[in-house]
Amino acid sequence: MRKLAAVVALSTLLLAGCVSRQDSSGPSEAPATVSLSELSDLTLNVGDQKGGTEALLRAAGALDDLPYKIAFSTFTSGPPQIEAATAGKIDFAITGNTPPIFGAASNAKVKIVSAYDGGGFGDQILVHTDSPIQAVGELRGKKVAVAKGSSAHGNVLAQLQRAGLSPSDVELVFLQPADALGAFTQRRVDVWAVWDPYTAQAETDLPVRSIARATGVTNGAGFGVASDTALADPKRNTAVSDLLVRYAKAVRWAHDNREKWAKAYGEEVGLAPEVATLAQGRSLRLPTDLSDQLVASEQELADLFAESKQISAAPEFTNWVDTRYSETLAPFYIKRDQE
Instruction: Give the number of C-alpha atoms closer than 13 A to the C-alpha of residue 280, restricted to the C-beta side.
Output: 31
Tell the CATH topology of 124-213.
Answer: D-Maltodextrin-Binding Protein; domain 2 (3.40.190)
**Domain ranges, ordered by start, for the chain:** 24-117+219-338, 124-213
For residue 27, the 8-state DSSP code is: P
Nearest Cα to Cα of residue 222 among 145, 122, 129, 133:
122
**What would you report as the CA-atom Rg of the chain, rounded to the nearest whole angstrom?**
19
DSSP single-letter state for residue 32: P
Nearest CA among 20, 112, 149, 119 for reference residue 317: 112
Q: What is the pLDDT of residue 35?
A: 97
According to the model, what pLDDT value does residue 13 have?
A: 35
Q: What is the pLDDT of residue 24?
A: 53
What is the fold, at CATH topology level, of the domain defined by 24-117+219-338? Answer: D-Maltodextrin-Binding Protein; domain 2 (3.40.190)
Residue 288: phi and psi, rounded to 5, are -145, 170
Contact status, residue 122 vs residue 212, Cβ threshold 8 Å: no
Q: pTM above 0.75?
A: yes
Q: Judge contact between 119 and 175, C-beta under 8 A.
A: no
Q: Which helix (H) or strand (E) holds 222?
A: strand 221-227
Which pLDDT value is given to residue 50? 74
Classify residue 313 by its DSSP letter. S
Low-confidence stretches of the chain (pLDDT < 70) are 1-26, 51, 337-339
Give the pLDDT score at 10. 45
